[in-house]
Structure 1
């Protein structure tokens, strides 16, 4: 049985798994993500891969940033961008592991997983939205993940939502960690945006402890007015972005993922707002897409990374 090493590099942890060709896990774990430099990152990966040396045929990596999967280049690396900038990361890993390596953007990996055997299976044109700290995006066109001309398709976090605030000559947006405070879609419609909306409804101090998504949905289930207003506002903002994307992409189905997508109340809330907006705007030429929950949770990035590996390395 052929086996593969799958890696999901996140801002806090690197998750890894030894799987078969169907992404069925044999073994796995996680380690803290080194943010100190390339050598430390490579050493961490080499360290957890060492016990499995000779047992895997290749390595598939999901990671943040603008990633050229075809050439194996990480043009940026999200939170890793302090050292992950225009780096031949796939080649560097191949030197350490001694097997073929592919790298791909995490949003595109999530889309690949859902299109392979998940909520977008059999769909020609679809969209995955992962509501996390930002908004991960992956576009399926004609049954395949659309990478774009510069490997940047699906970076939906950066959809501009507040034109006026960006018109001044003094405008700058150059700190990734400030996304929640920026005039882009991720600032309002990510999980961070939901927390901010709830904190505003509760008039919580900006520098005090912030509620978690679980606490917000628990308050919503209990009928708390502030939680109900915050979720409605948040769902409206997500729906507005979907309309903007639909006007360009004309997809059949939109799959919602991310940690908060597990909450039973989220999808119906977004569906209600999307239905309402389309009903209020009969002049829209596009049709309302079907809205579904992503099938795969925390394993989506690794599953999709394997699918993209097979596209680059046919069995």
Structure 2
């Protein structure tokens, strides 16, 4: 049995996964990140034990435990170096779970975990090399090389959302200017639309949809209004695709993966995002005679965190 833990700022989701990538059982508890980390780790222990009991299996049958976190972990020890959403710094979660279960424990960034899940049983299944981009509040990245998750020599790699693709009107949360996530995330789309409306841009359809309150603008509203011909919404979508295409062209040039798959809230726009994005990337490719990897949509959604974490101990 494989154990996958999707540890986020809101919920702790624990799943028992078989070798085919199917979730046999899962449960969830509120994270409550204001608690001491020891309490959160205790919850994970109890959830694992509860899950094994529910499927009438012994803890001794656990092959390994994997944990996805919204942060950076030390590969050798499973120590969380930092995790902003939980305010964790140097938390020895790997050691704590190893000491309790006497099983291998692996900790990775949640976007890397999602990339691994897609390669195991999702959109990039069977492909040796792939890249996963999650477009949500920010832009996360996960890299799979030779069927294995890759996050660099220090666990700080695959931060694709913090690659620099241009100069922007606001700084990234990391303190720098020009990060991909300030151009291609849902947050980026919303902030740009709000900026243009404050400058007097015309976006009648968009304003009507949010009842005149620009604080209610969402990425979905922007895509929906662009489909209806709203000039400002089209401008925002075109700008998003322009910079996302730059980021993806850079990925092609650096890694040349078999496929790049896109998940997260922005990906729900489907073909309205995918079709123009493919065209924009094609115009930026370095070698016109190379048939670069396709750009597709992720398939696993909310299950990716558990499945990918579970397989951290398999693809080592």
- Does the TM-score normalized on the shorter chain lie above 0.5? yes
2:143 is matched with 139
**Given the alignment of the two structures, is residue 291 of structure 1 paired with residue 301 of structure 2, yes or no?**
no
1:184 equivalenced with 2:179 (yes/no): yes
Matched, 1:65 2:71: yes
Q: Is the 8 A contact 1:197 1:233 kept in 2?
A: no
**Counterpart in the other structure of 1:301:** 305
1:97-108 residue pairs with structure 2 within 5 A? Answer: 99-108=103-112
1:217 aligns with 2:216: no
Q: Which residue of 2 aligns with 1:198?
A: 193
Give CA-to-partner distance per residue, 1:262-286, whole Å, 9 cap, x none. Answer: 22212123113212334xxx67797
Which protein has greater RCO, CA pairs closer than 8 Å, 6+ apart? 2
Deviates more, 1:250-259 or 1:97-106: 97-106
| Secondary structure of the corresponding residue to residue 76 of structure 1 | strand
Task: Give the counterpart of 2:26 among 20, 25, 28.
Answer: 28
Provide the TM-score with structure 2 as the length reference: 0.81
**Deviation (angstroms), 1:134:** 1.6
Native 8 Å contact 2:149 2:315 kept in 1: no
Name the structure 2 match of 1:43. 42
Structure 1 residues 157, 164: closer, same or farther in 2, change over 3 A? closer
Q: Per the alignment, do residues 180 and 223 of structure 1 end up closer, same or farther by CA in structure 2, a change over 3 Å counting?
A: farther
**Cα shift at 1:180:** 9.6
Provide, for residues 70-97 of structure 1, a one-character-per-residue CA deviation record: whole Å limited to 9, x for no partner.
42122222322x3x22232111123455
**8 Å CA contact 2:119, 2:125 repeated in 1:** yes
Label 1:195 to 1:181 Cα distance change in 2 as closer, same or farther (>3 A): farther
2:12 to 11, 14, 37: 14
Please give the per-residue CA displacement for 1:41-62, whole angstroms capped at 9, x wherever unaligned: 2233234345335545143211
Residue of 155, 160, 164 corresponding to 1:156: 160
Check conservation: 2:245, 2:280, Cα contact below 8 A: yes
Q: Which consecutive unaligned segments of at least 5 residues does structure 1 have?
A: 167-172
TM-aligned CA deviation for residue 203 of structure 1? 3.3
Gaps of 5+ in 2: 201-212
RMSD: 3.1
